[in-house]
Structure 1
Amino acid sequence: MTVTIRDAAPADVPEILRLVHALADYEKEPDAVEATEADFTTALFPESGTPTTHCLVAEADGADGTGGTVIGIAVWYVTFSTWTGRNGIWLEDLFVDPVHRGAGAGKALLVRLAEICVENDWRRLEWWVLKWNEPSIAFYRSLGSVPQDEWEVHRIDGDALKTLGAG
């Protein structure tokens, strides 16, 4: 099997959403996905302006020479560091279909993201990983990632966000 990494196209949106649902199942949150194909289309391929969200897809060619099967995704957006004065990438989600793991798709997606950083002189490639996800943690560390344990993640959403936003 050959794995190819490319920018997502509008026709990939159903497969992207399928893999997002598979990720939610993997992360033990099968009912958490609210996003629709329309949401992904709007975010990744806006009718006007520049997209604020990007997606790479890993595509596998079959052993028989057929191809075009989307087996993985990396959904990302541009960040900014006040300390470096440069942009970077926040990897929102990386997921490879479990039946296709071990073929190099995950590493290839991360390599492409690192290439994008280097090409643009961006200084950071960052993401979160659930603390119980030991296989992923081991994989990321094998590539040279360093956990940022001194930071605590905070989030405001739902009613708390509406209350804060109301002033």
Structure 2
Amino acid sequence: MKVRPLHPDDLTQLRLLCTEHAEYEGAAVEDSDQAQRWSFAFFASPPQLYGWVCSESGAAVDVLEGYMTASVAMSTWSAKPYVFLDCIYLKPRIRRHGVGKIMLSLLEEFACGRGCQEIQWQTIPSNKTAAAFYKSIGAVPLTKTRWTLRVGQLIRTAETPT
């Protein structure tokens, strides 16, 4: 298995992997112009999003078997940058073969290269397999709940009398 940075010609396969990942988590991927937005996010200077993919070593054509995406963020409390692992997904047939550990090791190198001392991420509570893997590499769970608010929702709520 080889792991490498995401290339522009990977975006079609990335879309398929994202769909599989979302289905695995019981969610859906917004079906719109991801390729255009991804092109900007991954390949702008500087990138807003960083990506890595894995495929079979020695294959004539790269058939992607997994992906990982991350961004660099800043913590207010520590005033230090950290890497936020947005997604990591491996097709079921390549799990438990060390690929996840390889990918996270690359992310750790990436974090070090950007002066980050921490990597943070989230997973759905029902993903016990992922939680066991994360604990096995020394990760520690946080007790926060992640929230989301659609932009414009607060404005609509504020305009609606109660």
| Match of residue 50 from structure 1 | 46
Give aligned-pair identity as a percent.
23
Cα 1:28–1:44 change in 2 (3 A) is same
1:29-84 Cα distance to aligned partner (Å, 9 max, x none): 2x4433532222222123xx42211111122225xx64623211111111111233
Q: Which residue of 2 aligns with 1:21?
A: 19
Q: Does the alignment pair 1:102 with 2:96? A: yes
**AA of the residue aligned to 1:45:** F
Q: Which residue is equivalent to 2:121?
A: 127
Cα pair distance change 1:82/1:99, threshold 3 Å: same
Instruction: Give the gaps of 5 or more residues in structure 2.
Output: none
Q: TM-score, normalised by structure 2?
A: 0.86
- 1:71 pairs with one of 65, 90, 96: 65
- Does the C-alpha gap of structure 1 residues 14 and 84 become closer, same or farther in structure 2, counting only changes over 3 Å? same
TM-score normalised to structure 1 length = 0.83
Provide the rounded CA distance (Å) in 2 between the counterparts of 1:103 and 1:66.
22
Out of 17, 31, 34, the residue aligned to residue 31 of structure 2 is 34
- Following superposition, which runs of at least 4 residues in structure 1 exceed 4 angstroms of deviation? none
**For the structure 1 residues 163 and 138, does the alpha-carbon distance in structure 2 shift closer, same or farther, using more than 3 Å as the test?**
same
1:142 to 133, 136, 146: 136
Normalized per residue, which structure has more strand?
A: 1
CA distance in 1, matches of 2:149, 2:110: 30
- Contact preservation (8 Å) 2:18, 2:29: no
Give the Cα–Cα distance (whole angstroms) in 1 for the partners of residues 81 and 60 of structure 2. Answer: 38
Q: Indicate the RMSD between aligned Cα atoms, in angstroms.
A: 2.3
**5+ residue gaps, structure 1:** none
For this pair of structures, how many residues does the alignment match?
A: 158
